[in-house]
Amino acid sequence: MEIKENILLANHTTFRIGGPARYFVEALNVDEIKEAVSWARKNNVPYFILGGGSNLLVSDEGFNGLVIKVKSEKLKVKSEGENLKVEVEAGVPLIKIIMETVKNNYSGAEWGFGIPGTIGGAICGNAHRLGRSISEVVESVEVFDENLEAKILSKEECEFGYGQSRFKKTGEIILSANLIFKKEEQKIIDDVLNQGKKIMLAHPPFPSAGCVFANCLSSEIKNLLKEHPELEKRIRGGKFGVGYMIDQSALKGCQVGGAEVWGHHANYIINKANAKAKDVIGLINLVKETVRKKYNFELKEEIRFLGF
């Protein structure tokens, strides 16, 4: 394990924004993850677990601690009757799992085609699209607890919700997971896969962190719908996309420095021209304030922040 110093984090996020990490290490396996965390604790240095960096904004000053980039990428598949069991370490890219399963007509992750990042990050945020989520295929998850003891959690113990899991609250470190995929007709898989490809092609041609603000379950916005019943028609499958409110607030194309609300999807902020983190923060605050005034609704960020 090699701990490096002053590594620019902009090169490790899809936003391409952020200053240096004081310390940086790539952990290639579970033992190295444990070693890195132990080193940080021994030296009283804060640490941050980094996956694909696809849902993250790093401050311009960087992070005065140790960034542990999880690069554990073992993947093992095993047929069990009509199912395919996939044992996968946290650093495996989601796209690798998708391609491994669909090539043999197994369904469960094809909806995520084009979503960047690792399976560890996908499990932590319960990645979702097209009415599907990664939690559907999770059988169990192996984690380090606060004492760096490995333990296995069942799907139920993971406390999955819409864009949520227990891991956003507990600080447990995801090490690996067992996933179960079911046999399906190739045409059905291809139809979903193609929908995912269309969504991917509609992504911005500029660096971004994906959707900035969390969408809502319809049950969470009852007061909003009372004040603005016209929003009822925007609910799809029990979900409400908040990008519509940003759009209707005339914020598409709005810029702060090099950051811009993307003109094709208002819930994306893009790094249009060498944006700084302060530009993105300024634009986030402007969007929240404008939507608050128009709709009396408080947007909540779903991207994570590091070094602020």
Task: Encode 229-292 in three state secondary structure.
Answer: HHHHHHEECCEECCHHHHHHCCCCCCEECCEEECCCCCCEEEECCCCCHHHHHHHHHHHHHHHH
For residues 132-136, give the mean pLDDT.
95
Among residues 124, 158, 211, 216, the one annotated as catalytic is 211
Q: Name the DSSP class of 140.
A: E
CA-based R_g, the chain, Å: 20
Rounded mean pLDDT of the chain?
95
Flag whether pLDDT at 285 surpasses 80. yes
Does residue 280 register a pLDDT over 80? Answer: yes
Q: Indicate if 302 belongs to the active site.
A: yes
Tell me whether residue 254 is one of the annotated catalytic residues.
Answer: no
In this predicted structure, what is the pLDDT of residue 131? 85
Query: Would you say residue 21 has pLDDT above 80?
Result: yes
Q: The pTM is what?
A: 0.91
Tens-place pLDDT, residues 162-216:
889 999 999 899 999 999 999 988 899 999 988 888 887 778 899 999 999 999 9
Residue 130's pLDDT band (boundaries 50, 70, 90)? confident
**Given 32, 110, 142, 302, the catalytic residue:** 302
Q: Please tell us whether the domain made up of 75-199 is placed in CATH 2.40.10.170.
A: no
The mean per-residue pLDDT over the stretch 5-31 comes to 98
> Domain spans of the chain?
4-70, 75-199, 205-306
Q: How far is CA 213 from CA 172, 265, 272, 302, in A?
A: 24, 12, 19, 5
**In the CATH hierarchy, which top-level class contains the domain 4-70?**
alpha beta
Residue 272 confidence (pLDDT) above 80: yes
pLDDT for position 29: 96
* Model pLDDT, residue 94: 95
pLDDT in tens, 241-270: 999 999 999 999 999 999 999 999 999 999
Residues 88-93: what's their mean pLDDT? 96
CATH 3.90.78.10 fits 205-306, yes or no: yes
State the pLDDT at residue 7: 98
The pLDDT of residue 237? 84
Mean pLDDT of 111-130: 92
pLDDT (0 to 100) of residue 69 = 98
